[in-house]
Amino acid sequence: MSLYFDNRLAYKINKGKEDSLPERNPASDLGHSQLFPKGAPRCPRLGAVFTLEAAVILPLMACFFVSILFFFRVMQVQLEVQKALNDTGRTLAVTLSGDNSNEAIGLGEAKALFLKEMSGRKAAERYISGGNLGISLLKSEFSQDEIHLRASYHVKLPIRIFWVWSFDMEQRADCRKWTGWNGAAGSGTGDTWVYVTETGTVYHTKSTCTHLELSIQSVGYDQLAVLRNENGGKYHKCAQCGSSKNAFGRVYITNQGDCYHTDLGCSGIKRTVYMIRLSEAGARGACSRCGT
């Protein structure tokens, strides 16, 4: 009796489980058959949705990346135009030094020099509307001693964005005409320019004097015994830095000097040169090499 009861109980339990499964539930079968008929795809419009998204989003993404890459080309164009403006301004600073009134002459020379500087620059020729000839300098000014170059042009877009094919760009370069020295100070008195150092006791008439432009060499300390300067003299220890030691065993000498240095920043071989008037030299005498 106990065994028979257990078998019936187990049958009822299993029967309940089978009835509760989704595939045995009539309501579930009805809903599934209504939503997804046999032989038909579950979402017949899903492919059309993907096609529509691809048709809209992919072109927008392509335009976005093309625009980002195009701005690197715009930077290249700006660099080329700015380089040509700077070079043109330097040349005009010399050629227009004696002309302070005729604006047309200045603009004509500026345009000719600018086009010469822009020749061979491929990025500007390709992406500027009208090429190099499409760059306008009409806003430039040549008043008094100043030169103000203004370059205006249109950069062509690789693709049309909201009915826009190009955008405006403007760059500038400012410089001063080379007017030279007016001769107000010491004019006609022989008050020329000379060169002095911070600790020097003489003045130099040439900036290329060998006392100012030193030919410094780095040599090994063990080579000093056989090395000689241009006058055939030996090298002695510098009074300022010779007592210190160099961690690399190297010393510094010059062709004209007679001392060796362990510190490259020693004032014996370091030169800070100033250009002053001869009248400001004070008690300094003339250099024996360049002052005679």
**pLDDT tens, position by position, 170-187:** 999 998 887 665 554 444
Higher local confidence (pLDDT), 64 or 204? 204
Q: List phi, psi (to 5°) of 52.
A: -65, -45
pTM: 0.43
Residue 41: its pLDDT value, please?
54
- State residue 186's pLDDT score: 45
Residues in the chain: 292
pLDDT of residue 82: 92
Structural contact between residues 147 and 92, judged by C-beta atoms closer than 8 angstroms: yes
Q: What is the mean pLDDT of residues 24-28?
A: 49
Per domain, the residue ranges of the chain are 49-176, 193-286
3-state helix/strand/coil string of the chain = CHHHHHHHHHHHHHHHHHHHCHHHCHHHHHHHHHHCCCCCCCCCCHHHHHHHHHHHHHHHHHHHHHHHHHHHHHHHHHHHHHHHHHHHHHHHHHHCCCCCCCHHHHHHHHHHHHHHHHCCCHHHHHHECCHHHHCECCCCECCCCEEEEEEEEEEEEEEEECCEEEEEEEEEEEEECCCCCCCCCCCCCCCCEEEEECCCCEEECCCCCCCCCCCEEEEEHHHCCCCCCCCCCCCEECCCCCCCCCCCCEEEEECCCCEEECCCCCCCCCCCEEEEEHHHCCCCEECCCCCC
At 244 the pLDDT is: 75
Residues 148 and 140: beta-carbon distance below 8 Å: yes
For the ranges 68-77, 90-99, 111-120, 142-151, which has the lowest average pLDDT?
90-99
Give the pLDDT confidence of 37-62 residue by residue, as tens digits.
555 555 556 556 667 676 777 777 77
Check residue 152 and give its pLDDT.
93
Average pLDDT of span 19-39: 50
Which pLDDT does position 143 carry in this prediction? 77
Q: What is the pLDDT of residue 203?
A: 92
Q: How sure is the predictor about 247, in pLDDT bands with cuts at 50, 70 and 90? A: low
Average pLDDT, the chain: 76
Q: Which of the pair, 31 or 42, is modelled with greater confidence?
A: 42
User: Which structure tokens are listed for 68?
Assistant: 């980002």
What percentage of the chain exceeds 70 in pLDDT?
70
* Cα distances (angstroms) measured from residue 53 to each of 41, 50, 166, 271: 20, 5, 29, 72
Strand-pair partners of 276:
194
Structure tokens at 73: 């080309």
Give the model's pLDDT for residue 153. Answer: 92
Q: With bands split at pLDDT 50, 70 and 90, how would you rate the model's confidence at 164?
A: low
pLDDT: which is higher, 236 or 37:
236
135 with 118: CB under 8 angstroms? yes
